[in-house]
Homo-oligomer: A and B are copies of this chain.
Amino acid sequence: MTVDYKIYDLGDLKLQRGATLRDCKLAYKTFGTLNADKSNAMVYPTWYSGQHYDNEWLVGEGMALDPSKYFILIPDMLGNGLSSSPSNTPEPYNKSRFPHVTAYDNVVAQHKLVTEHLGIKHLRLVLGWSMGALQAFHWGAVYPEMMDLLAPFCGSARCSRHNFVFLEGVKAALTADGAFKEGWYDEKPNKGLRAAARVYAGWGFSQTFYRQKLDLERMGYSSLEDFLVSFWEGFFLPKDPNNLLTMLWTGQHGDLSDNEIYNGNFEKALGAIKAKTYVMPGKTDLYFPIEDSEYEVAHMSNAKLIPIPSVWGHFAGGPGTNPDDVKFLDGKLKELLAS
């Protein structure tokens, strides 16, 4: 098996909630070459359940994220199975004992990788989809001097109460399977994984997407049930349940101000972001509705709200599912990079 990514051993990472991840590993992949003055770097964190290769659809010659111009770093989220996760951490912090990790923890770890390991002091752009957007916001508020540009899409700086409830449903479905055994399974709770997938299916795409039968007409599935089994269950089944729950917790507890810098003052945290920012919600995203992005933009000093005009729901922002949305997003990123 060829491994196309690197692992950085951070050493000990003290986490916000008290635990320490010893020999904490951060997986990452890079594209392009760092230029002489190290001014062409970008950071593009992964999303809930995604791994770095799930971000590659936005990288390519002629695109905004052009490896011939930029050095593009995709760090894997903690808990995603490649970076330190319940599934790959040795005892005693393995499996169900894997500690709670916040978006802040993720970004602190990524900052170490960028500055200490790669020696990069400045970033041109930080961007991300969904839980990757949450991390992008954190980059902007925790290290406000460090980047020129910020582009969070189909995500938020704080988990909304409704989004929290949606994730509760996913979690409850996954853990209702007795085979989950409170996280101490030897064999994976496949019924629970399939159930979580079916719950997610209603949230991932919009009502209009389903009404227009884009699962069949555009994605090529042979029936709605085929879409549910092949796309949704097929995506969830290979994942490790404890890993999914670790990232889910990260999402549910996402809050830009939940740290010693901003002490719960969400508006202050948003206001502290200096980077020129394009906040790009999906117009039909069911769990990151546009109103939350509007609120964020209203409290930022240099941000613009750019809704993605798409019926693909949350998937307007990734992972390259709809070519029209990729084109729109890529165009806006080019515009942002040209400014």
Residues of A near any B CB (own CB < 8 A): 160-162, 164-166, 168-169, 171-179, 189, 191-192, 194-195, 197-203, 205-211, 213, 224, 228, 286-287, 289, 291-292
The residue in chain B whose Cβ has the minimal distance to the Cβ of A191 is B176
Q: Which of the residues B164, B210, B291 comes within 8 Å of A160, measured between beta carbons?
A: B210
Return chain B residues, CB-CB under 8 Å to A172. 173, 194-195, 197-199
Query: Are A224 and B165 in contact (CB-based, < 8 A)?
Result: yes
- In the complex, A270 Cα to B173 Cα: how many Å? 37
The residue in chain B whose Cβ has the minimal distance to the Cβ of A286 is B286
Known: A172-B194, A176-B173, A201-B168. A162 touches B291 (CB 8 A): no
The residue in chain B whose Cβ has the minimal distance to the Cβ of A313 is B162
What 4 pairs across the A-B complex have the smallest Cβ distances? A169-B199, A172-B195, A162-B210, A176-B195
> Can you offer 16 A-B residue contacts whose CB atoms are under 8 A?
A161-B213, A162-B207, A162-B211, A166-B202, A168-B201, A168-B228, A169-B195, A169-B202, A172-B173, A172-B197, A172-B198, A173-B176, A177-B178, A199-B199, A208-B291, A211-B292
- In the complex, A172 Cα to B292 Cα: how many Å? 30
Between A164, A172, A197, the greatest number of chain B beta carbons within 10 A of the residue's beta carbon is seen for A172
Query: Are A202 and B168 in contact (CB-based, < 8 A)?
Result: yes
Return chain B residues, CB-CB under 8 Å to A203. 202
Q: Which of the residues B165, B175, B291 comes within 8 Å of A201, measured between beta carbons?
A: B165
Return chain B residues, CB-CB under 8 Å to A194. 172, 176
- In the complex, A208 Cα to B289 Cα: how many Å? 9
Return chain B residues, CB-CB under 8 Å to A287. 207
Query: Are A202 and B160 in contact (CB-based, < 8 A)?
Result: no
Return chain B residues, CB-CB under 8 Å to A201. 165, 168-169
The residue in chain B whose Cβ has the minimal distance to the Cβ of A206 is B162
Q: Which of the residues B173, B195, B289 comes within 8 Å of A207, measured between beta carbons?
A: B289
Return chain B residues, CB-CB under 8 Å to A210. 160-162, 165
In the complex, how many angstroms separate the beta carbon of A8 from the nearest chain B beta carbon?
37
In the complex, how many angstroms separate the beta carbon of A337 from the nearest chain B beta carbon?
32
In the complex, how many angstroms separate the beta carbon of A250 from the nearest chain B beta carbon?
18
The residue in chain B whose Cβ has the minimal distance to the Cβ of A289 is B207
Return chain B residues, CB-CB under 8 Å to A169. 169, 173, 195, 198-202
Query: Are B168 and A198 in contact (CB-based, < 8 A)?
Result: yes
Additional 5 contacts, C-beta under 8 A, given A169-B169, A174-B176, A176-B189: A161-B211, A161-B224, A165-B228, A172-B197, A195-B195
Return chain B residues, CB-CB under 8 Å to A195. 169, 172-173, 175-176, 195
Known: A177-B176, A177-B177, A191-B176. A165 touches B202 (CB 8 A): yes
